[in-house]
Structure formats: C-alpha cells, structure tokens
C-alpha cells in the first residue's frame, strides 16, 4: 500500500514545485511498494536512481525560488536538501555494490521522513515567502530537466511523443511512466504482456515501444518479429535486466534499434529515446 496518495493537502500552490513533488511522491511510493524479491530490487535501483536525478533539478529549482524571494531560512533549507541528497546517494552506492544487501526497511524509513518531514513541513514553510512572487515563479518554472538535456542532444518534442511500455512487472511500468511524464511525455500507454502490446499496436502504432525482453508468454524477439509483420514505423527499444550484449545480435536481427539496461536512470531512458528517434 502506498505511503500517501497525492492530494490537494500536499500542494503548496506553486505549480512547478507541486508538479515536481507529485513526481517525487510517486517515486517515494514506488520504493515503498517494492519488496525484497530480486526483480523488485531491479525496480528499486531504478527508482533510487531516478529519485536522485530528479531531485537535483527539483532542489535547484526550490533553492533558486527561495533565493529570488529572499526566504530567510534558505541556508537551513539548503542543508536539509544536502543531507537528503547525501543519504539517497549512499543508498544508491550500496545498491550498485550489492543489490541483495540493500537495507530496504531503512530506505523506506528515510523516504517516509523525506515525505512527511521535508515536503510536508519544511517545504510548506517557504510557501508564504514565495507564493505571490510571480516573476520568481516564472523564472524557476522555466528550469527543467529536459531543458538541460536539450543543450547536449538533438531536440525531441517530448509533448508530442507517443510511447508504449511493455513489461510484466507493474512497478517497473509505473516507474517508466512516472519518469516519462516527468520529462513531458503525455501519450504513454502500457501493456503487461507482448500479446497485449501487439493488440494495442495493431490499432495504432506509436513512436517508441519500450519492451521488456524476457516475459512469460512471448519473448521480446518474437514480439519484435510479429510487430514488423504489420508495423514498420514503431521504434523498438529492448529493456533488459540482463547484460545487453547477451541479446544484441538476436534483438537487432528482430528489428530492435535501441537498448536500455535495467536498472534504468532518467538520463539513460531519455538518451535511448533521443538516440532511436535520430536514427
């Protein structure tokens, strides 16, 4: 069960900050919903990575807003952000070293504290200082993860992109969906099996299909082959928890043109989509 559902109680009334918090609360809930199973640890690694990456942008935005509004507790708030970042990074480092040794209960406690003490108390405290400063809000609203990315890659019109996620793990689908929504993709569909994915694609192709490779019922290679019988426009990206090289030859021969290794990061997901769209 989720830690908390997003509701108007969590809104501080500043659009871009609330949109960021919505993403963070979703990621925090996803960690909370993970179990100790191996597959879930793969999801947990991806969620932690996305949380750290997204937080960098979000914390910069919040601190800039507080600075522009002359918030008296800016330094204390920065320290709080710094401590949250260090702790999240240390959990991710432990994950990279040995996923099976991750203190899942400790991480859940840490994120609970982040949600209930930082977002719901410390973030609400800067609200009165910033709420009516329209110029400052407009300036920080223009700060986005994708703007930074656009400076180093070919521009992608994320708002017009359509993506289908095929994965038998619901937590992983939710993570990808959260990250895609966070970077501005509005048209995201999901399917729990390759068969369900084909049924959706036969009705309407999409720009990018993110397809898990090892699934019950139909393997990714078979999915790609069958998709190509009626659709040669949807770009297929293989998403796998195994080493990409294990599948590269077979996948390429089946029509796959992009490869994404789990655990994923926001950056790796954005990069692979940018890459396949430019081919």
Which residues in this chain contact Fe ion in the complex, by CB under 5 A? 62, 123
Least separation in angstroms between CB 139 and Fe ion: 17
CA 119, 122, 128, 132 torsion: positive or negative?
A: negative
Closest to Fe ion by CB, 62 vs 167, is 62
> Tokens standing for 112?
């609970």
Least separation in angstroms between CB 104 and Fe ion: 25
Closest to Fe ion by CB, 71 vs 91, is 71
Closest to Fe ion by CB, 94 vs 118, is 118
Least separation in angstroms between CB 7 and Fe ion: 19
User: Among 256, 262, 257, 261, which residue's Cα sits nearest to residue 278?
Assistant: 257
Closest to Fe ion by CB, 32 vs 81, is 81
Bridge partners (DSSP) of residue 165 are 190, 210
User: Among 215, 122, 128, which residue's Cα sits nearest to residue 167?
Assistant: 215
Pairing of strands 235-240, 187-191: unpaired
Q: Name residues whose C-beta falls within 8 Å of residue 155's C-beta, 6 or more positions apart in sequence.
A: none
> Tokens standing for 250?
């077979």
Least separation in angstroms between CB 169 and Fe ion: 31
In whole angstroms, what is the distance from residue 163 CA to residue 210 CA? 7
> Tokens standing for 180?
């895609």
Least separation in angstroms between CB 26 and Fe ion: 17
Closest to Fe ion by CB, 60 vs 162, is 60
């Amino acid at each position: 069960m989720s830690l908390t559902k997003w509701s108007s109680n969590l809104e501080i009334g500043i659009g871009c900050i609330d949109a960021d918090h919505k993403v963070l609360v979703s990621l925090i809930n996803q960690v909370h919903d993970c179990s100790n199973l191996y597959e879930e640890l793969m999801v947990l690694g991806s969620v932690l990575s996305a949380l750290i990456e997204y937080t960098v942008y979000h914390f910069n935005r919040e601190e800039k807003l507080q600075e522009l509004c002359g918030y008296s507790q800016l330094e204390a708030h920065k320290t709080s952000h710094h401590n949250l970042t260090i702790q999240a990074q240390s959990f991710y480092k432990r994950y990279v070293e040995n996923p099976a040794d991750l203190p899942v209960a400790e991480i859940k406690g840490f994120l609970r504290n982040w949600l209930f003490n930082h977002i719901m108390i410390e973030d609400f405290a800067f609200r009165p200082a910033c709420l009516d400063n329209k110029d400052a809000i407009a300036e920080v609203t223009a700060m986005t993860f994708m703007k930074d990315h656009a400076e180093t890659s070919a521009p992608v019109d994320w708002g017009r992109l359509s993506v289908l996620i095929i994965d038998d793990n619901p937590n992983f689908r939710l993570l990808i969906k959260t990250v895609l929504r966070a970077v501005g993709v509005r048209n995201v569909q999901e399917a729990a099996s390759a068969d369900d994915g084909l049924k959706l694609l036969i009705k309407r192709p999409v720009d990018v299909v993110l397809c898990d490779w090892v699934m019950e019922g139909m393997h990714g290679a078979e999915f790609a082959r069958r998709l190509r019988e009626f659709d040669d426009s949807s770009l297929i990206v293989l998403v796998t928890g195994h080493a990409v090289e294990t599948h590269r030859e077979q996948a390429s021969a089946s029509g796959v043109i992009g490869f994404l290794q789990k655990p994923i990061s926001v950056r790796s997901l954005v990069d692979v989509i940018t890459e396949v769209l430019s081919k």
